Structure formats: C-alpha cells, structure tokens
Amino acid sequence: MGLNAGWSETPGLKTRFVVVSVAAAVVFLLLLMRLWYLQVINADVYLRLSEKNRLRYIPVEAPRGSIYDRDGLLLVDNRPAFGVSVLRQDVEDSDLLLETLAGYLDEDAVTLHERYQKGKRLPAYRPLPLAEDIGRDRMEVIQENASDLPGLLTGVRPVRSYPYQESGAHLFGYLGEITEQQLQSQDFSGYRSGEFVGKSGVEKRLENTLRGHEGQQRLEVDVRGKLLRSLQTRDPFPGNRVYLTIKRDLQLAAEVAFEDHAGAAVMLDVHSGEVLALVSRPSFNPEAFAQGISSEEWISLLKDSRHPLQNKALTGQYPPGSTFKIVSALAALKSGLITASTSVECTGKLEVGDREFRCWKRTGHGKTNLKKALKESCDVWFYQVAQDLGIDRLSETASDLGLGSPLGIDLEGEKSGLIPTRDWKRRRFGAPWYDGETVIASIGQGYVLTTPLQLAVMTATVANGGTVYRPQVVKKIVDLVGNVLVEHSPEIIKSTPFSPRDLSAVHTGLVAAVNEPGGTAWSRKLDGLKVAGKTGTAQVVRLKDDDDKEEDEDKIPYRFRDHALFVAYAPADAPEVAVAVVVEHGRHGSSVAAPIAMKMMANYFGVDVGALPDHVPYAGD
Amino acid sequence: MFDRRLLTHFDWFFLGLVCLVAAIGMMNLYSASAPWSQGGTPIYVKQMYWFALGIVIALIVCMFDYRHLEYMGFFFYGFNVLLLVGVLLVGKTSMGATRWLDLGFFNLQPSEVMKIVIIITLACHFSRKGHAFGHNLRELVPPFSLLTIPVLLIMKQPDLGTSMMVVFIGLTVALFAGIQRLTFIGLTVLGFLGAYGGWFLLHDYQRERVYTFLNPERDPLGSGYHIIQSKIAVGSGGFWGKGFMKGTQSQLSFLPERHTDFAFSVFAEEWGFVGGFGLLALYLLIIIWGLYIARRAADKFGMFLALGVVAMLFWHMVVNLGMVIGLLPVVGVPLPLFSYGGTSMVTTMIGVGLLLNVSMRRFKF
C-alpha cells in the first residue's frame, strides 16, 4: 500500500472514470457519425463538388460541314484558327493577364480590356475569346511563356474559309454571331452565346445541317486555375457536307465575265430547275465575316450604293424590258389573237389614246411578223398586239411562266417581283387601268418587275417545252461517313398551257435574234453553239427627251442609266441550260448583258467564246 | 539510481500507439506536401525531425519522477504568466497576432507552454485540495482564478484557439475533481451568461468565424472557403477514399492549410470513411488508454496530471476534427501528432512524456 493508500477508493472516482470514458467515446461516435454523413450519405454530392473544383469543360467547336459544287469540287471549307481565350472563373489578376497577353499579341492592352469587360456578360465558366486567328507561331510563344497565367487557354477552332474569296458569296451566305433573339428562340436551342450561325444563303437555309456537334475537352486545373493536363477529349462531330447544284468553273467564269458591273446572272438546267450558276455583283468577301466583322467594315458594306450584300439574283427586282416580249408573244399566241405569221406594220410609232408610243427604231421595222418582232425586238408589234390582248391575259401568261411570285428556291429572301393586273392597280392606287399601261407592260416596262431568277425560270420553261421547275441550289446532303441524307430531285411547280406550236413560234424568233443577221444579239453569237436569246433594256428613268438619248448616253449619271438584260437558252435545238443576265445601268442588253451570258454558255458547253467585239453597233434590245 | 522496475513498467503499448499515429500523420504529410515543388527540406521530413525531438523530450520527461513537479507547479505557473505578460509587452507580431517571444535562436510561444503548465498547476491544486463530495463555489475561486489569468492574457494576443484549449483543459480537470451539484448548475448558468458577454469581447474576425461556421456559404471565397473545401475533401473521399496521393482536393491545392489544421481532411479524402474510422479509433484508444493511466496512477497528483494531459489531447482532437468536418467553427487548433508543426508536436510529446511518466511510476512508493 502506498502513501496515498485509499485515495483511489474515493467514492465515485471509479464512476467518474467510467463516465469520462463513455463521454469521450460518445464524442468520438458523434465525430464518426458526422464522417458517415459526409462520406457515405453525401459522398456523391461532395464528389461532384470536388470534380467541379478541378475539372473544366471546354467546348470544342465542330467544323461546319463543307460545301461542294455538283461535281464534288470544294467551295467552302474550314481552316484552323489559333486563338487565345480566358476562363474568367480562374483568372486571378485580369490586369496582369491582359497586359502580359497584349505584349505577346503585340496588341493594345486597352482593346483586350474592352473585350474582357464586354465578355463579362458570358458565364464565368465559359471560355471568353480574347484574340482570334493569331497564327501558329504566336500561339506557340504564348503557350510556352504564359503557362503561369491562371485562366488562360489557347486553342484552335475551325473557321470558315472560302478558297474563291468573293465567288459565290451570295449563294453560300455568310456567318455571324448568334443574336440574343436567336438564342432565346426554339430553333436555336442548344446554341450558346458567341457561336457563329448562318446569316444568309445556304449557310442560313441549312444551318442545322451544316452545324456539327460540339465536342468537349475535359481539363484538370489546380486551385489557381492553372491548366495541369487534358484528361479526355470528346471529338466534335463535323456538320454534314452539302453538295450544291452549281458548277464551280461556270460560277467563276460568270463572275469574271461580269467584270466591274453590278447585277446578277442565273443559269439553270432547263430539265430540272437546278441552278448551275448564281451570280450577284458586286460581291463581298465572306471571309471577313468568318470571325466577326468590324463595325466599320459592316457599315461600309451597308452604305455601298451598289449593295454588295444584296443577292440580286433573288431579291433584285428589275423591269424586264424587252425580255418580257417572250411573255407577250406567248400570251398573244395562246389567246389566238395572232399566229406566227400575223403581220403588223411598224412605222416607228403607235398612237394609243392621246399618247404616242415609239419603237426603238424610229424609222420603223416595216411589215413585221412574230419572228421578226422577236428577232429585231420591234416595240410597235407588241404595242399593237397588247392593245388587243389586254393586261389581264398578259398577266396571266406571265404568272404561268413563273413571274410575279416567289418560286420557292431553297435560299432565303426571294422576292416576288410584280406582274400588274387591273385589280392590283385598283388596290394599290385606287385608279383604273389604262390601255397605255398595257402597251408599255408588253415590252416589260411600267409596273412590271421581275427578278433575274424568274427570268431564268421563264426562259427555261420556254426552252423545255413548258414545264416550270422549282429552282434549287442544293443537290444533296451527305453525312461525315458518306451516307446520303437528302438527295433533291427536280420539282415541277406547274405545266404551262402553251401548245408546242406556240412555243415553237417563239423559239424561232429567239433563235433568229441571235443567229440571223439583223437580230439584236447577232453580234454576240457563238461559233459552235446555237443559242436562242432575247435582249432587253430596262428604263430606269424616263428621260425628258428620248430623242437625245443616244447622243447623250455617256453623259447620263450612272444611276440613271438603263439596265441591260439578256435571256437565252442553248443548244437552241435541244436546250439544256437557260440563262438570265441583268446588268444594272449597263444600258444595252446586247452589248453588256449578252456577252456575259455567252461567256457562261461557252464555259458550260466548252466552246470557244471567240473574240467578242468590245463595241458593236446598237441593234436595239 | 535508476530503478530497473521503471523499464519493466514502461508503457510500450502507449508509446507504440503514439508512434503509429505519428507515422500515419507523417505519411499523410508526405501526400499533402506532394504538390509543392519548391526546394528545401520537405515538410514531412521536418515533421520527422520534430517527432524525433518529441520522442527525446518525452523520454527526458519520463526520466525524472513526476512527483517533483508537485512542488514546482506554482513556480512554473508564475514564470509562464510572466512570459505571457512579456509577450504582450515585447512580443513578436505576425499576421496580426502577438504570440511569440524572440529568443534569438527560436521563437517561444508561451501560450503553448501554458497548456502543460496549467495541467501541472491544477493537478497540484486539486491533488492537495481534494474533496470527497465535490467543491463548492468558494473552493473553486482559487483554481478558477489560476485559470482566468492566463486565459485572459492569451485572448489578448489574440489566440482564441489556445485560450479555449486552456479553458477546456482547466474545466475538465475541475469537473473531474468534483463540483457540488448546485455550484455546478450555478456555474453553468454563469458560464452561458459569460459566453454571451464574451461575445462582445471577441474580435470582429473571431465573430466572423462563428458566423461563417453557422453558414459557410455566406462567404464561400473568404472565411467560409476553408470549411467548404474541407467538407468537399472529406465528403468526396467516400467510403473507400480516393487512394494515397490521389486526393484531388489536396493534390490540386483546393484545400487550404492542408498540412497543418486541415491535415485530417487530406487523410479522409484519400482513405475515405474506412481510414477516418481507423484513425478515430486510434485516437479514442489513446484517450481511453490515457484515462486508464490516470485511473492507475500511484497518487492523486499523478491522476490529475494524467487526466489533464488526456484532456489536452482530447480537446485538441475533438476541436480539430470537429472543425475540419464542419461540426465546430474554424479555430486554429492542430490535430495532435498529425498536423505539421514543431510547437504542437513538442507540446503533445511533453504530454505523452508525462503520461508515460505517470504510467511507469504507478507501482512506485
């Protein structure tokens, strides 16, 4: 027994030790229960949170589907663009980051700051692009030196590239950043802010087809947001390939043929309505839009008086001028008013009511039948016929040929043109129709407006024996592995009520216009290819004194000059293609529009265009 | 003369237990410090040095008979209080707190030493003034005064964690010594009132910690960040853990203070519930074994001494673990044998030494 014998027998001491031990055990049990709660019951929640801490999901943009011509020649592609972006949630010191980056990019830090500020409307976990298309060399330098800047990402994204620059721009369309409105609409569900979408042309029409499926890169970052490694990449799935109906070389040739002129040209396959070339001039370079166009460039395009952004082939509404005589001729034939041999005496003018209407040839064409009227484009012949025909029968025939309403081409923004009727005039102006108006309508002036596309369809209809096909630019859609998803077949809009004899009568006139001496397009005929065609000149303004017109032509301001038109099909005896060309303020169809059409024909049929004279005597349109 | 019986009665089991936990702790530090690529001695190696030093200190503490302390307790106490006053007058300030005395070759933190000293002091007091039926209020005035003086001095530094530890140790010992029922009730009420009043004495940042503890999400990137990230680390470990050195929260540095106060979070992330359970069991075993030592102490002083050390270890464990798993507010209390730090290791090992001392002398007369 020790000196303290008995102390440990103090009453309750043993109990106290038991109580204290149990209390300690209970406290530890509580801690254990808490561990159970965190690690077993809520493990998933915390695992997700820990993954969220360390993982960054970076979307990998999918290349849009490439666009090819009908023969599989590449028209629109993608190229890799190296860019720098930041994940704002990981940026520690934005000033430092932007200053450093500005140094590497050789760019003004203020600009980067502006972009950064602007990007704050995006979620912080989304990469915010700061500099795009910086070039591989520059990106390598940044990758090597800027790894200590948390939040900085370098990457490569596909950017639309256009090997032929301005060529086909209106057909393909351009891309632009998705708008807030679009983001909120059902059609664009799944899109994210900052994405580029088709704004016009095929790009817009086939947006869903061309857009691929975004991939995703899973990156691991540390607490500073410093990129440690890429864990997994789900490759993006490129958009579907689109084959257009156009022929690349033909399209290029047509554009070259347009030189510096403004206007539009459409060439169609007469048996299917497929568009073989679609030109609108002046054009723009869609490459400028591929990564976002600057507001200065955008404004300058919008302010350009020659409207480079407008697809004039579909949306340009021009008086068809003498090309409309095809309609008038068919209307007269169909109505039985005339036959191919019905003759009219052209004295150079015709009085209708109290007004005198002149023929372009002041001395008159003399005795003129349908063939001659079309060949030499005699206005009086048509005035005469139109007087008896009346506007309603004329309009009906125009409509039969596809004029005056949209044709439903697979592109955006097609305009309807205008084929006037008595009803229309009453509704529009509250005024009756006058005979004089029918007279000028018969030669494609007055209220009549058509689009180049409609003129092409009209011409094709005459060429193929009376079938109106829906014009189309998309031939087929093929997925990544080559499965054909969609293949378009010709679509007939309607069959016209013209008899083969009537069509043949018009055909004869159109052949003569190009192939017989005295024809308005005689000087433009091709060796080795028989083309049927019709020239046209559309008055933009009615000059005060028509007599002085020829002498003063060069003095007329550009914007008041007449439009030049030409429609044609070939080979005349077994037509395959039809073309319509409108040259804004080009003055004469024969001298400006016809050469373009002929060059297109020559290209299509592989014939030598020959030495087309630069200037030919005016032979009337 | 060295008594050979001391060796035969040496508590190898307890020392083994301590070494095991310390070894696990060092292994854990190895993982926790892996993300650092900076040069210099790795912290797990430093911790080994500290532990080695701790073992030496523990053995030295074992050497002399603890009963000598009974006569030196109040001297230590007085000296330590002077040091605490010295800290307030000429202490070294770091990160807004004045806790250290610059002794030239190293910085002494008297508040840490006070944990041991208050144990010895209270053991002295209660072993002499034992009361079979518990102490009444009047009898409690002296020990409470002994406790209050250093606590106030430490709070002034400010060091809420350490002052709280000293209070917990003191209260545990006092409670064990016995308090009359009425006195106990009265003191409890008084304690609550005091806590209420004390709330207004707290520094803003300390109150902020309490607010944040109650709702960490109110400041997820500021004061709530630690606890949120710690809970994520612990919880994401799941049942089996992510594996050694595979804890993303710690390896990717999302977990702050992962080598010191939040070392257990690293462990729990990598070893999961299974590991946490094992470690908790080891800690509980240390506590139970410590109580066992106290129960078998040869005298009352030894019992209170051992009990005080057990209280110190217990409260450190509970407050630290409670803190990192979101049960208690974040106060800077290290986990004994586990958190990196020389002071904590030395203090703990002095305590271990005292327990071994008491244990091996249980048969001595």
Position A16, amino acid: R
With an 8 Å Cβ cutoff, is A220 touching chain B?
yes
Q: Say what the pLDDT of residue A283 is.
A: 93
In whole numbers, what is the pLDDT of chain B averaged over residues? 89
Q: Which of residues 160-179 of B touch A (CB under 8 A)?
A: 176, 178
**What is the rounded average pLDDT of the residues A32-43?**
96
**Six token digits for residue B142:** 């002296």
Q: What is the pLDDT of residues A224-247, one digit of tens each?
A: 877 788 888 889 999 999 999 999
pLDDT at A4: 46
**pLDDT: which is higher, A543 or B231:** B231
Instruction: Find the CB nearest B268 among A30, A35, A50.
Output: A35
Q: What are phi and psi of A323, to 5 degrees?
A: -65, -25
Q: Do A2 and B35 touch (CB under 8 A)?
A: no
Please name the member of B231, B277, B365 whose beta carbon is closest to the beta carbon of A38: B231
* Closest alpha carbon to A268 in A11, A540, A604: A604
pLDDT at A552 over 80: no
Residue A171: C-alpha distances to residues A75, A200, A417, A554 (Å): 11, 8, 19, 33
Q: What is the mean pLDDT of residues A43-68?
A: 92
pLDDT mean over B242-251: 90
* Residue keyed to tokens 């409309």: A324
Q: Write out the catalytic residue numbers of A.
A: 322
A448-476 pLDDT, tens digit per residue, is 999 999 999 999 999 999 999 999 999 99
Our measurement of the distance from residue B257's CA atom to the centroid of its chain's CA atoms, rounded to an integer in Å, reads: 17
Grade residue A58 by pLDDT with cuts at 50, 70 and 90: confident
pLDDT, residue A240, reads 96
Smallest Cβ distance to A53: which of B232, B287, B318?
Answer: B232
A39 and B234: CB-CB below 8 Å? Answer: yes
CA-nearest residue to B241 within chain A is A39
Contacting residues for A450 by C-beta, under 8 A, at least 6 apart: A317, A318, A319, A320, A324, A403, A404, A417, A444, A458
Average pLDDT value for residue range A202-225:
90
pLDDT of residue B328: 87
- On chain A, the residues whose CB falls within 8 A of the CB of B298 are 2, 4
Which B positions 182-241 lie with beta carbon below 8 A of chain A? 229, 231-239
Shortest distance between the Cα of B124 and any Cα of chain A, in A, equals 15
A24 touches chain B (CB under 8 A): yes
pLDDT computed for residue A3 by the predictor: 44
pLDDT over threshold 80, residue A147: no
Q: Which of A2, A17, A38 sits opposite B365 (nearest CB)?
A: A2
For residue A542, the model assigns a pLDDT of 60
B53 touches chain A (CB under 8 A): no
Query: Is B323 within 8 Å of B153 (Cβ atoms)?
Result: no
State whether A34 and B326 contact (CB < 8 Å). yes
The confidence score (pLDDT) of residue A32 equals 97
* Residue B32 with chain A: CB contacts under 8 Å: none
Is pLDDT of A543 > 80? no
Residues 6 or more apart whose CB falls under 8 angstroms from that of A294 comprise none
Nearest to B271 by CA among A44, A35, A55, A221: A35
On whether the CB atoms of residues A532 and A569 are closer than 8 A, the answer is yes
- The per-residue pLDDT for range A502-518, each reduced to its tens digit, is 999 999 999 999 999 99
Which of B213, B232, B265 best probes binding to A when mutated, by most A CB atoms within 10 angstroms?
A: B232
* C-alpha span between A30 and A336 (Å, rounded): 106
For residue A125, the model assigns a pLDDT of: 78
Chain A residues in contact with B291 by the CB 8 A cut-off are 17, 20-21, 24
Q: Could you give phi then psi for residue B225, rounded to 5 degrees?
A: -60, -45
Give the C-alpha distances (Å, rounded to integers) separating A284 from A269, A281, A507: 26, 9, 37
Lowest mean pLDDT among A293-297, B233-237, B357-361: A293-297
| Closest partner CB to B325 (pick from A2, A34, A43) | A34
- Summarised one tens digit per residue, pLDDT across range A597-619 is 999 999 999 998 776 555 555 66
DSSP state of A472: B
pLDDT 10s digits, B104-162: 777 888 999 999 999 999 999 998 887 667 788 888 888 999 999 999 999 888 888 89
Q: Which of A16-30, A316-330, A517-531, B34-48 has the lowest mean pLDDT?
A: B34-48
CA dist list (Å): B49 to B42, B54, B113, B124: 11, 8, 20, 33
Q: Which has the higher per-residue pLDDT, B301 or B208? A: B301
Closest of A96, A87, A98, A157 to residue A123, by C-alpha: A87
Q: Which amino acid is at A33?
A: M
Tokens for A453, please give them: 């596309």
Q: Is residue A165 predicted with pLDDT exceeding 50?
A: yes
What pLDDT band is residue A8 in, cutting at 50, 70 and 90? low
Residue B363 has a pLDDT of 80
Q: Is B78 in CB contact (< 8 Å) with chain A?
A: no
CB contact under 8 A, B238 and A224: no
Average pLDDT, integer, range A554-571: 89
Instruction: Flag if B132 and A30 touch (Cβ within 8 Å).
Output: no
Q: Is the pLDDT confidence value at A1 over 50?
A: no
Comparing B169 with A141, the larger pLDDT belongs to: B169
Interface contacts (A, B; CB < 8 Å)? 130
Contact B249 A50 (CB under 8 A): yes
A395, two tokens: 């309009």
What's residue A545's pLDDT?
Answer: 47
- Which element (helix H / strand E) includes A57? strand A55-60
Residue percentage of chain B with pLDDT more than 90: 55
Per-residue pLDDT, A232: 84
Q: Residue A87 corresponds to which tokens in the numbers above?
A: 């994940």
Compute the nearest-CA separation of A149 from chain B (Å): 16
pLDDT of residue B12: 93
CB B338 within 8 A of CB B263: yes
Q: Work out the percent of chain B whose per-residue pLDDT is above 70.
A: 94
Q: Which amino acid, one-letter code, is at A195?
A: E
Of B224 and A22, the structure prediction assigns the larger pLDDT to A22
Predicted pLDDT at B2: 60
Of B277, B303, B314, the CB nearest to A32: B277
Is the pLDDT reported for residue A544 higher than 70? no
Collapsing DSSP states into helix, strand and coil, what is residue A511?
helix
Classify residue A286 as exposed, middle or buried by CB count within 10 Å of its CB (0-12, 13-18, 19+): buried
Q: Given this model, what pLDDT does residue A2 score?
A: 41
**Residues B238, A43: C-beta atoms closer than 8 Å:** yes
The two tokens of residue B289 are 């074994």
Smallest Cα distance from B45 to chain A, Å: 25
| Residue B205 pLDDT class (50, 70, 90 cuts) | confident
Exposure b/e, B242-278, CB count within 10 A at least 16 = b? beeeebbbbbbbbbebbbbbbbbbbbbbbbbbebbbe
Q: How confident is the model at residue B225 (pLDDT cuts 50, 70, 90)?
A: confident
Segment among A248-252, B71-75, B275-279 with least mean pLDDT: B71-75
Q: Is A492 on the interface with B (CB under 8 A)?
A: no
Residue A551 — very low, low, confident or very high, per pLDDT cuts 50/70/90? low
Terminal-to-terminal C-alpha distance of chain A:
139
B246, B270 contact by CB (below 8 A): yes
User: Across residues A392-396, what is the average pLDDT?
Assistant: 95
Rounded percentage of chain A residues whose pLDDT exceeds 90: 64
Q: pLDDT at residue B350 above 50?
A: yes
Q: Residue A142, SS3?
A: helix
Q: CA-to-CA distance for A419 and A405, rounded, in angstroms? A: 8
Determine whether the interchain pair B300/A2 forms a contact, defined as Cβ–Cβ distance below 8 Å: no
Q: Which of B131, B295, B364 to mutate to test the interface with A (most CBs of A within 10 A)?
A: B295
Residue A47's pLDDT is 94
Helix axes B263-295, B225-237, angle to 10 degrees: 80
CB contact under 8 A, B239 and A222: no
